[in-house]
Amino acid sequence: MRELTSIDVLFLISMGAIWLLLLYHAFLTYGGYRCFLKSMEIDEKIEKCPDEDLPFVSVLVPAHNEEAVIGKTVDAICQSDYPRDKLEVIVINDSSTDKTGEILKEKQKMYPFLKVVTLKPPLGAGGKSNALNQGLKEAKGEFIVVYDADNTPERKAIRYLAAAIISDSKLGAVVGKFRTRNADVNLLTRFINIETISFQWLVQAGRYHWFRLTTITGTNFIIRKNVIEKVGGWRLDALTEDTELTIRVYNEGYFIRWLPDSVTWEQEPEKIRVWLKQRTRWARGNMWVIAHYFKHILRLNRRISWDVLYFFYTYLIFFISVVVSDIIFILGLTGLARLTITGPFLIIWIMAYILFILETFISLSLERGQGNIKNLLITSLMYFTYCQLWLYLVFRAAWVSVKDKITGREFYWYKTERSGR
């Protein structure tokens, strides 16, 4: 029997690690489909919840230089199908230097339940978490709803969130669905549209079906005010404040529900430069969460500890495995190193490619109007282009984090630019 070389061993380990995650995602895809079937059944507690049973809610909208979108966002929230006597909308105008403040003054004339909290340095300009914490101080509701400044929630979005969370005292938060408003602008926004739908029906719905696990996504969610106060509010040093908050909510013994009936539409980056800055921040934030909580994993709630392991596996083991397999492939092409083992490796790679397309397209098919030939072709292209950028993002995020650590530079919260489309 031929002895395996170190290259052979590395290749086999990396292939095994890659396929482990692919199969787990296939498992989640089936869970997402089961969750979809269940969501087709009418939940009477949510659908027919009378106005008198709905709680008073405070909607928080952090806004920094959002003149392009804030007017439409306020209109959508204030015109929602929610009892006016049980709704307050608080926009935190965080050190804006554009016309955001002027637009909000005009909107206050239209909506008496709209409140504007204006922050100026040094209290302001501290990022989304800081703005939300300041808005929380002004909130009168026993439940807090959060929307980003570029969101246009559907009329029943808030009603569904509120009705869902009061239906179960063990629910700490309920997270709705978000869709891409500008999906057809260019190829990048089409990729993002497919990515967001796949994430929600595969990761959110799948994890909720199997494990009752859901990640707070930063917009279109409701949380109990006493829960957010109990865990100490939003962390100022967390770049992905939503993911970090998720862990603390579960660790308090609550769980989070994913509710696809509640829908908001948001604007996604239309330029690769804007997308790169946004996703680098997300990657840095997720890596910070992994580093911060992995060392305390034995003290975490068992349910959320498995999710921390999933993040750890994705950002470290899976990432390294993909890089190793790519390097071995390149070395093989150049003749610098070759595998001594033989096997149907081309077939295995083709099977991985087909599995990716199937998982993604199944999730697209669960969303009305998205399971079409055009999106199937874009998904096929996405594997070789958009998905590969994830490797660069992780490299970039790690490098920026290390550089900031060495230089002592404090992190800067990058606000995603809006097009006003």
In this predicted model, what pLDDT tens digit does every residue of 88-122 receive, in sequence order? 999 999 999 999 999 999 999 999 999 999 999 88
In this predicted model, what pLDDT tens digit does every residue of 194-241 receive, in sequence order? 999 999 999 999 999 999 999 999 999 999 999 999 999 999 989 999
How far is CA 232 from each of CA 136, 222, 235, 245, 376, rounded to the nearest angstrom? 11, 16, 8, 10, 44
* Contact assessment for residue 220 and residue 259, using Cβ atoms and an 8 Å cutoff: no
Kindly report the number of other CB atoms within 10 A of residue 182's CB atom: 18
pLDDT for residue 416 is more than 60:
yes
- Average pLDDT (370-378) is 97
In this predicted model, what pLDDT tens digit does every residue of 17-67 receive, in sequence order? 999 999 999 999 999 999 999 999 988 889 999 999 999 999 999 999 999
pTM: predicted TM-score of the whole model, two decimal places: 0.93
- Which ranges constitute the DSSP H helices of 313-344? 319-334
What are the backbone dihedrals phi and psi of residue 153, each rounded to the nearest 5 degrees, phi first? -65, 145
- Average pLDDT (344-350) is 87
Identify the CA nearest to 94 among candidates 149, 23, 156, 43. Answer: 149
DSSP 251-265: HTT-EEEEEEEEEEE
Cα–chain center distance at 301: 21
- Average pLDDT (406-415) is 70
Tokens of 58: 């405070």
Q: End-to-end alpha-carbon separation of the chain, Å?
A: 64
Among 149-153, 257-261, 278-282, 411-415, the range scoring the smallest mean pLDDT is 411-415
Q: Please state, for a pLDDT cut of 90, what percent of the chain lies above it.
A: 84
- Average pLDDT (414-418) is 71
Q: Please report the pLDDT score of residue 288 as a whole number.
A: 94
* Contact assessment for residue 360 and residue 194, using Cβ atoms and an 8 Å cutoff: yes
* Contact assessment for residue 239 and residue 411, using Cβ atoms and an 8 Å cutoff: yes
Q: Please report the pLDDT score of residue 420 as a whole number.
A: 66
Q: Please report the pLDDT score of residue 2 as a whole number.
A: 63
pLDDT for residue 414 is more than 70:
no
Q: Please report the pLDDT score of residue 261 as a whole number.
A: 96
Q: Please report the pLDDT score of residue 1 as a whole number.
A: 52
Tokens of 133: 């914490």
Q: Please report the pLDDT score of residue 418 as a whole number.
A: 74
Q: Please report the pLDDT score of residue 342 as a whole number.
A: 81
Q: How far apart are CA 241 and CA 233, in angstroms?
A: 10
Among 159-163, 276-280, 390-394, 417-421, the range scoring the smallest mean pLDDT is 417-421
Q: Please report the pLDDT score of residue 185 as a whole number.
A: 95
Q: How far apart are CA 304 and CA 211, in angstroms?
A: 10
| Total count of residues recorded for the chain | 421
Tokens of 357: 């397309």
* Contact assessment for residue 289 and residue 271, using Cβ atoms and an 8 Å cutoff: no
- Average pLDDT in the chain: 93
- Non-local CB neighbours of 93 within 8 Å, separated by 6+ positions: 63, 64, 100, 101, 104, 116, 117, 118, 119
* Contact assessment for residue 92 and residue 131, using Cβ atoms and an 8 Å cutoff: yes
